[in-house]
Structure 1
Amino acid sequence: MTLREDGMITTEPMFADWRTFEALPLTPILEQALELFNENGYHGTTVRQIARRVGVTVPALYYHHESKEAVLVALFELQMRELNDRAEAAAREAGDHVVAQFSNVVEAIVLYMTNRGRHVCLDTELRHVSVDSRSRYAATRKRLELMVIDLVSEGVAVGAFSATNVAETVRALLGMLQSIPRWYQLGGALTPEQVAERYVDIALHTVGYRPAH
């Protein structure tokens, strides 16, 4: 997944390793919009402010994005596609072992939540976009939820997990993981890797992991 100069996203991965987080190659418009949305909120930010930060005219900004909402939607799409791509890469790396797949996917989600907090915090602005845009975003989020549901269901089927209501358990688990940016700060007492290690353990207990004896 790569971001082009026009703000469109291609399918080429933006990372060499799912555990490694480099600075995203955002276009100047998306980078400055992300900063302003985090500083002032979506409603508190104007297109003119974004253009001024970038150093372009408002018409030049509209050449790349048709509206302020389109800028926000581009950031939403970038966020979920990167998260999904990392989770899928993590699952593939674990091979066919469902417990390892599940653990890797949880680790990938937590590493994303801790390393990309600026992006995840934009979720609070989702209510400001159109119904169509919310539906597309919900579909990309559902892709991650279904992946985890499939993993937990398989784990239950092979006797590795004992969750009695898989769908509800996964929704509760993802809600817990997605709340991490509310309290986590990069450079604080815990590294992203330490947080991920702790939450993998919590996640395994949540799904009723049964170690083989």
Structure 2
Amino acid sequence: MPAAAPLVEDKRTGRSWRAFESLSIDPVLRAAIDDFVEKGYHGSTMRSIATRARMSVPGVYHHYRSKQHLLVACLDITMAELFARVPAARDEGTTPVERLSLMVEALALFHMHRRKLALIGASEMRSFEPANRRRISALRNDLQHLLDAEIAEGVDQGLFATDSPRHAGRAISTMCTSLPQWFRDNGQSSPERIAADYARFALGMLGVHVQNS
């Protein structure tokens, strides 16, 4: 029983893609997320997840048929939220420079505010069964294509100066997906400050120099 990701509305409905409320996740999936982050997918078991959720093993199986279904639910939440936030951020921009900057900000914020889900997404693709891996990989590619489209348009308009737009797009994505590896809530910089910096870094890769505010 996959948990639904929260709807993220754009500026027309008054709800900001920058706002990160607590996710409404059932106890089994929440326990699985914590277990996967702590032990890795292969180190976790349905029994250890049940113990963490304070449920019986049959009770866990009543909600999720397998550990693989729990992993799929984690990535479904992640991708649903990213596909809500990133386009909403993009739609606030009027030029490729603005749109790319906002999209990178959205990606960076997600990978800090949803750090546990992002860690699972970064480390457990190898743990998916083939059909699930293909589906999630296709979604990731679609998300990357959103960035690539803005970079390509910016290059066409002479706004971005790079002779390797595809490589730049991958570098920008990787920069954001690596955030959960080092970001901590009790660090010296807020997610919002880091996200703004990352948006500026991304533009710098593309030959657009923005003064640090």
TM-score between the two structures when normalised by the length of structure 2: 0.89
Residue matched to 1:54: 53
State the AA in 2 paired with 1:7: P
Does the Cα contact within 8 Å between 2:148 and 2:165 map onto a contact in 1?
yes
Q: Does 1:101 align with 2:99?
A: yes
Cα separation, 2, equivalents of 1:178 and 1:55:
32
Structure 2 counterpart of 1:117, from 110, 115, 118: 115
Residue matched to 2:183: 184
TM-score between the two structures when normalised by the length of structure 1: 0.89
Does the Cα contact within 8 Å between 1:34 and 1:118 map onto a contact in 2?
yes
- Give the secondary structure class of the aligned counterpart of 2:7: coil
Please identify runs of 4+ aligned residues in structure 1 that moved more than 4 A. Answer: none
Cα separation, 2, equivalents of 1:108 and 1:79:
13
State the AA in 2 paired with 1:154: E
Deviation at 1:79, TM superposition (A): 1.0
**Counterparts in 2 of 1:59-74, with a 5 A limit?**
59-74=58-73
- Give the secondary structure class of the aligned counterpart of 1:9: coil
Q: Does 1:195 align with 2:194?
A: yes
Residue matched to 2:148: 149
Once superposed, what is the RMSD of the aligned Cα atoms? 1.8
Map Cα deviations across residues 126-167 of structure 1 (whole Å, 9 max, x no partner): 212211111111111111100000000111111111121211
State the AA in 2 paired with 1:30: L
State, as a whole percentage, how many aligned pairs show the same letter. Answer: 33
**Counterparts in 2 of 1:122-137, with a 5 A limit?**
122=120, 123-137=122-136
Does the Cα contact within 8 Å between 2:8 and 2:84 map onto a contact in 1?
no
Does the Cα contact within 8 Å between 2:3 and 2:77 map onto a contact in 1?
no
Q: Does 1:13 align with 2:11?
A: no
State the AA in 2 paired with 1:85: A
State the AA in 2 paired with 1:92: D
Does the Cα contact within 8 Å between 2:28 and 2:50 map onto a contact in 1?
yes
Residue matched to 1:207: 206
Structure 1: unaligned runs, 5 residues or longer: 1-5
Does the Cα contact within 8 Å between 2:200 and 2:209 map onto a contact in 1?
no
Does the Cα contact within 8 Å between 2:96 and 2:153 map onto a contact in 1?
yes
Deviation at 1:206, TM superposition (A): 0.6
Map Cα deviations across residues 35-64 of structure 1 (whole Å, 9 max, x no partner): 111122212211012122223332332222
Deviation at 1:77, TM superposition (A): 1.4
Structure 2: unaligned runs, 5 residues or longer: 10-14
Does the Cα contact within 8 Å between 1:101 and 1:151 map onto a contact in 2?
yes
State the structure with bigger RCO (CA 8 A, min sep 6), 1 or 2. 2
